[in-house]
Structure 1
Amino acid sequence: MAKAKKIIRRTWTKDDVRQMKTMAKAKAGVKKIAKALKRTPGATSAMATKLGVSLSTRA
């Protein structure tokens, strides 16, 4: 039986939020932002929605 991976939740720091907003303004995609922050795309988009930040790559 495979052992389930333990979920570790990391709190969002002010620097994380600042970096996400900067990358979102530069129209970086969700995957790219998530990778830079070492988070899942789901967690990244959830926080963006909570903060009212658009992660759309459209101009």
Structure 2
Amino acid sequence: MAKNVTKKKLVRKEYTASDIKLLKAHSRARTPVTKLSKMMKRSEGSLRQKARVLGIGLGHQR
């Protein structure tokens, strides 16, 4: 018997210009990624991927 399990719907949130500005500011300030992810309400992976696409470092240890 298979259980009826519903999957959570994936909702993507676009990066706005102000999000990118904030990400760059925290990159310069070397804010830890865990703190930044809670502040921006995005996953660490999402922030790291976006930083990589923008060509900026992220986190306090690079």
Asked if these proteins are the same fold (TM beyond 0.5), I'd say yes
Read off the aligned partner of 2:8 and give its amino acid letter. K
Q: Tell me what 2:26 maps to.
A: 23
With 12-21 and 29-38 compared, the bigger mean Cα shift is at 29-38
Larger radius of gyration: 2
CA distance in 1, matches of 2:54, 2:60: 17
Q: Tell me what 1:9 maps to.
A: 12
For structure 2, the 5+ residue unaligned runs are none
Identity of aligned residues (%): 29
Q: How many residues align?
A: 59
Considering only aligned residues, what root-mean-square deviation do their CA atoms show, in Å? 1.6
Q: For residue 56 of structure 1, report the CA deviation from its aligned partner.
A: 3.5
For structure 1, the 5+ residue unaligned runs are none
User: What TM-score, normalized by structure 2, do the two folds share?
Assistant: 0.82
User: What TM-score, normalized by structure 1, do the two folds share?
Assistant: 0.85
Q: Structure 1: which 4+ aligned runs deviate by more than 4 Å?
A: none
CA distance in 1, matches of 2:54, 2:30: 16
